[in-house]
Amino acid sequence: MAVPKKKTSQARRDQRRAHHALKGPSLATCPNCSEPHVPHRVCANCGYYKGRTVVAVEVNE
């Protein structure tokens, strides 16, 4: 079994973890209502997807 010969310094350890941060979700704009939504999903605001209305959405005003 491989065992490290020397202790890994905090700087080297943290440099390795520099790319582990979480990223925010990528968003696309709806062509129907211009609201941001997750790509390849039905727009929660208007129910629009791939050029047609897929889900009927109630309007609360």
Three-class SS state of 29:
strand
Q: What share of the chain is helix, strand, coil (3-state, %, to 5)?
A: 15, 15, 70
State the Cα–Cα distance between residues 51 and 61, nearest whole angstrom.
25
pLDDT at 61 over 70: no
Q: What is the pLDDT of residues 1-31, one digit of tens each?
A: 899 999 999 999 999 999 999 999 999 999 9
Which residues, 6+ apart, have CB-to-CB distance to 28 below 8 Å?
Answer: 36, 37, 38, 39
State the Cα–Cα distance between residues 47 and 55, nearest whole angstrom.
5
